[in-house]
Chain A
Amino acid sequence: MRFDRPARRKFLSHSIAVLTGLCVVAALYPLVSIIYSAAIRGGGVLFQVRFLTAVPPNACSVVQCATVGIGPDIEGTVILVGLASLIAVPVGVLAAIFASEYRSRGLGRAISFTADVLTGVPSIIMGAFIFGYFVYYPSITYSAITGGLALSAIMIPIVTRTTEEALRTVPNSIREAALALGISKWKATLRIVLVAALPGVATGVLLAVMRASGEAAPLLFTALGSNLYFHGFNQPVAALPLLIYDFALSPYSNQQKVAWGATLFLLAAILIVNVASRYMIHRLGRQMAGGA
């Protein structure tokens, strides 16, 4: 290392500051551009009457549609993600408890590593997996059930990993204090340790829910999409990301507009929940640290 020519070195240091600052601008430009274009192109249609409840335009008559909307798709996304959460949250949390609280067994480590690797499996592969399995059960190959299962396969590893991380931040003294009072280990785990880790667990669940609600790839050949409101768990079901994909590739400008409106809605929902959950969890964490 040669420390001479101080002026040059200082200049280099300052130019690096500017250069890395430009990197931040380049990295964040897409965020601004996406929000801006969604607001410009989707704002008009999003605030139309009944946009959030009416059915998408191709389900109306060919000539004219009084109102267009994304009602079935909002409903479908809520149903699919709800189904997926019903499976993924208990499974993920309990598996994480095993991996973290009973870690002395080699199995725990294996589970933890597997969950970690599973978070890296492409979501389309999860869809192909569910499709490949249920293709032998034609009555529900394309249905809300298989869609929910595909999404839960994506959520389980996320919930497992984040819950495990949260459990690991709970100090050992809390476990020992509970056990010293004579409570059995499973009660101590569920009622003391898990409760102490709750903010972290909630973050993980929210992360997984938000990820699942934006996924289109695993739904392409499971939930399939639909123009109608939900009509049975064994029937194809609509979803917001599927609508955006279909209408984005549509040659008709009215459908493209609906795609942008749906994008603005989904984007706003995800960004608002994201920011709000950060704030809530921050506060919850502080409250528990101070109050408990």
Chain B
Amino acid sequence: MESTTPSPPTSTAPIAKKVPRWPDRVFVGIIAAIGVGILGLALGIVAVLANGAQQSFHRFGWGFLYGTTWDPDHQIFGVVPFVAGTLITSGIALLIAFPVALGAAIFVTTQAPRFLRGPVGTAVELLAAIPSVIYGLWGLYVIHPYMETVVEPALKTNLGWTGLFNGPAYGLDVLTAGLILSVMIIPTICAVSRDTLLAVPDAQKEAALSLGATNWETTRTAMIPYARSGILGGTILGLGRALGETMAVTMVVGNVDKVPTSLLSPGQTISSLIANELLSSSGPLQTAAILECGLVLLAISLAVNVAARLLVWRVTKTGGPITL
């Protein structure tokens, strides 16, 4: 079906007049150019950020990547506080979201009565459709007071000995940001896990059931191992979303440019740094440093996303559900 291969010569008279070939070539040319434009978009993002970050490259070199100071007053910039903030908030989000999302996916695929599956699935997808800034508003006005007055004091009194909960409980800190993030990535992990669990062949389940396994034993021994790499892929996809999430995090993370020393200390992620400081930057060097932080975030999220996509592609062969 190659459009460019010439049609085989025919000795018999054609039934209709011959279809001209050139419009096909023009069409392929146009859409190929647009397709290449998408590759260009990807390269352009890297090129533009790298270009904007030049001044910071020259000034700090590799030291930028392990610089722990972000001080606009003395024009000293390093990315570590924000990498730390990003990884800590995303780590908390993953710890909370993974069990809940997997549990929900197991409930929907193996436990729920059939009539409940559709509505629960739709509700989870609606959760994914809510804009980040609305999660932020909700986090700031509904979750934050609750964290400040109830959850964090309780954590301090009961688990204070671990050292994880030092410092005053303000409610606007990496813990709250991680909690809001977990809510936002549950739909991603849940949807992918559900799809891979549904893709387990019936014979696999029936075999376990016929050996006398209970519902849970079937899930544990026959379904989860089969769906493992899909679930892992979905989880990494969720992690990718958490790493780059901006508005909600910016509104609850506290926005302090220091490495967080406990789960209750305010921090800053790379994305919230860009949101907060790109416009109010103290000068060209800070702008360049912020764009270099953007490059670091891009590198982290690309690595995570490529890993997840490869896993999900391997399992489902088609690229799986489009999760946003």
Contacts and interface: CB of A to CB of B under 8 A. Distances in A.
B278 to A, nearest CB: 5
Given A107-B32, A125-B297, A248-B137, A182 B16 contact: yes
Contacts of A121: 45, 244, 298, 301-302, 305
B107 A117 contact: no
A200 to B, nearest CB: 10
Contacts of A107: 32, 35-36
Q: Is the interface of B mostly helix, strand, loop or mixed?
A: helix
B66 interface: no
Given A107-B36, A129-B48, A220 B104 contact: no
Contact of B131 (A13, A99, A266): A266
A72 to B, nearest CB: 17
Contacts, number: 299
Contacts of A119: 322, 324
Interface of B: 1-3, 15-16, 19-21, 23-24, 27-28, 30-32, 34-39, 41-42, 44-45, 48-49, 51-52, 99-104, 106-108, 111-112, 120, 122-127, 129-138, 140-142, 183, 186-187, 190, 211-217, 219, 221, 237, 240-241, 243-247, 251, 271, 274-275, 278-279, 290-291, 294, 297-298, 301-302, 304-306, 308-309, 318-319, 322, 324
B35 A207 contact: no
A220 to B, nearest CB: 6
Contact of A13 (B217, B247, B278, B308): B217
B318 to A, nearest CB: 7
Given A13-B216, A217-B247, A244-B134, A114 B100 contact: no
Contacts of B102: 23
A98 B32 contact: yes
29 contacts: A27-B186, A34-B130, A37-B138, A38-B134, A94-B31, A108-B35, A112-B319, A120-B305, A124-B246, A125-B294, A125-B297, A129-B45, A131-B278, A132-B49, A132-B51, A153-B41, A156-B38, A165-B318, A184-B19, A184-B21, A186-B3, A189-B27, A215-B131, A216-B133, A220-B278, A244-B137, A248-B136, A259-B137, A274-B126
Nearest to B298: A125
B38 A217 contact: no
B217 A9 contact: yes
A249 B271 CA distance: 18
A214 interface: yes
